[in-house]
Chain A
Amino acid sequence: MPKITYIEHNGKEHVVEAPVGQTVMEAAVKHAVPGIDADCGGACACATCHVYVDPEWLPKTGEASSMEQSMLDFANDVEDNSRLSCQIKLTSELDGLVVRLPKSQH
């Protein structure tokens, strides 16, 4: 199972293993990683699962869809590597993925 490292805004790290096919958001929520609320459960309706993808992983996570991009336009503290974690599906290629959480979700 792919391993994902979530780094909270205060630097605290959480390493989670999750099955392929789950999203980066689901894996965080199911392991109670603080800072990813994901109130809507992945319906792309709330923008509370915003993460920064570690730059070296960007080629593997792919790009945000236009729907996701429109949501990110209104999220707080958006950077070039911002994604909604409910829209990143885990693949075996993403084993080792590192994402950081924004200040607004601290």
Chain B
Amino acid sequence: MPTADRGPKHEVAVTTNEIKRIIIIGAGQAGGETAQRLRQAGFKGDITLIGEEPVAPYQRPPLSKAYLLGKLTMERLLLRPASMYAEENIAFLPSVKAVWIDRAGKKVRIEGGRELPYDALVLATGARPRRLPLVGADLDGVHLFRTAADADAIRPDFVAGKKLIVIGAGYIGLEVAAVARQLGLEVTVVETAVRPLARVTSPEVAGFFLDEHTRQGVRFVLGGQPALIKGKDRVTGVGLADGGELPADLVIAGIGVTPETTLAQHCGLAIDNGVVADAECRTSDPNIFAIGDCASRPMAHYENRIARLESVHNAVEGAKIVAGVLTGQKPHTVEAPWFWSDQYDLKLQIAGLFQGYDHVAFRGVMADRSFAAFYYKGDRLIAVDAVNRPGEYLGAKMLIQTGRSIPSNIIVDESKPMKELVASAR
């Protein structure tokens, strides 16, 4: 990946003790955590948290898992009780859209025209789910999946016997498919690639999840090209490019996201697959920071190559980094990236970034539904996909974080406990 060109820095960053007013745009996990962590770090000035959604910051990962299954209430998804923002003297503005950033005047304009001044600004604007570029994509019963409102809109149709078509076999699509099967829906997953999870894991691990979903009754159309969504007012099916047609009561698209960079673009910040930020999450304007899904930043454990991560780890880490920088506290020690996915009774835990691996080693066997795939680049361990193997996951994460490795012919030896192997690694 290219190294970002940050361009000349004309502006001078205000110093920590000159920062009296911080505005955070975006009240997802990254924005919510930033507000909270600034207070925890002792910041006494004004904090304004602007969010487009009507609710206080909440965790998104359970939306496609326990929440959709009906096992978690919205109240339990909230990062903090809604009342806490007032108690912590955080001005939380729900259902408010920021429409303009005036960098020279250091002001944010919100819908309605009000202008809010800042000393430091944090962009945590997240990402937008991609819309299906198809005729019929706006019919009733066709859904995107990003927010609690999206999940709430789907839930009434998540009843046994309904026909669901999931378009896109990434983690969101497969998690939704798993929930739907558990609730007794008929599920077909349509994916343009020849295998699921093509962007996020190896063919071997993808094959494992394909088999698992197939066994659970999910039908797959791989290499399938959706051509149009059929229906009059409400969806009745999905037409494929090869002329085939799949009947549907509802369609959920999980075809990836686009970083939300509109505001940053309009005010001229550097953009390259998200708002470009440095290791301190600073953008090309030193008084503006960008964190979470909307930002790309150097990956400390991967030769500082620039990447944009969509994950809880990335959201929380951005918040920790920014809170540290803005309050002059000791810098946050960056973690190796981590992710997880729950499907049926499988817990997939991922550490590191697997892109660029040249071989993979397995500890345990897939048939036992408990194994870990370790990805290597040369003799260096760069990532792990662990299925029902938390020890292997945490062990590998620790190794990646500390730049250590275990040779692939040794890591597969199950007669040696993972803990022992990690202790002996160099």
Contacts and interface: CB of A to CB of B under 8 A. Distances in A.
- Are A and B a genuine interacting pair, yes or no? yes
Interface string B412-426: 000000110010000
A44 to B, nearest CB: 7
A46 B78 CA distance: 18
A70 B390 contact: yes
B349 A74 contact: no
Q: Is the interface of B mostly helix, strand, loop or mixed?
A: helix
Interface stretch (A2-10, A28-36, A95-103): A28-36
Interface-central residue, B316, B342, B418, B419, by most chain A CB under 10 Å: B316
B241 to A, nearest CB: 38
Interface-central residue, A26, A37, A39, by most chain B CB under 10 Å: A39
Q: Is the interface of A mostly helix, strand, loop or mixed?
A: loop
Interface of B: 36, 40, 59, 61-62, 76, 78-81, 84, 88, 312-313, 316, 338, 340, 342, 347, 349, 388-391, 393-395, 398, 418-419, 422
Contacts of B61: 40-41, 43
B318 to A, nearest CB: 12
- Counting chain A residues whose Cβ lies within 8 A of the other chain, the interface size class is 20 to 34
Contacts of B418: 73
A58 interface: no
B283 to A, nearest CB: 24
A73 B394 CA distance: 9
Given A39-B312, A41-B61, A73-B419, A67 B347 contact: yes
B419 A32 contact: no
A41 B388 CA distance: 18
B391 A70 contact: yes
B398 A74 contact: yes
A40 B312 contact: yes
Given A39-B316, A40-B312, A45 B338 contact: yes
Given A41-B62, A67-B390, A74-B395, A32 B80 contact: yes
A43 B342 contact: yes
Contacts of B312: 39-41
Interface-central residue, A34, A39, A45, by most chain B CB under 10 Å: A45
A47 interface: yes
B195 to A, nearest CB: 25
Contacts of B81: 30
B340 A74 contact: no
A44 B76 contact: no
